[in-house]
Amino acid sequence: MYTDKVMDHFMNPRNVGEIEKPSGVGEVGNPTCGDIMRIYIDVEDDIIKDVKFKTFGCGAAIATSSICTELVIGKSIDEALKLTNEAVAEALDGLPPQKMHCSNLAADALHKAIADYKAKQEAK
């Protein structure tokens, strides 16, 4: 049912936790399946220096959170905004059709964290 990459990121998730003073935070949830995902970003000079996540959900939700963080560390804000839900699933070598909504959460949470970062920058 799950690819080896999904199982690896589920069993050994990368970048779990939270950033004490994040540049931005994004949280999303899917009431249908109960998954809740929060992504924290640390940005310096428009580059994502660190990303952490906390996810309450199924194995696919944890795996998509983990791979999402790996895909954007070291990227510019503009590059990270281009990350799509499909790209997250592709990076895991695919997800079962009934779990595709989980990959949507990772990109959405990241985009919300970036929006939060940008709002904080405009408020300065």
For the question of residue 58 being annotated catalytic, the response is no
- Residue 115 CA to residue 73 CA, distance in Å, equals 17
Structure tokens at 97: 């059709």
- Residue 37 CA to residue 63 CA, distance in Å, equals 11
- Residue 57 CA to residue 117 CA, distance in Å, equals 25
16, 19, 33, 36: which is the annotated catalytic residue?
33
For the question of residue 102 being annotated catalytic, the response is yes
- Residue 90 CA to residue 51 CA, distance in Å, equals 20
Place of tokens 């906390």: 54
60, 102, 105, 110: which is the annotated catalytic residue?
102
The residues annotated as belonging to the active site are 33, 102
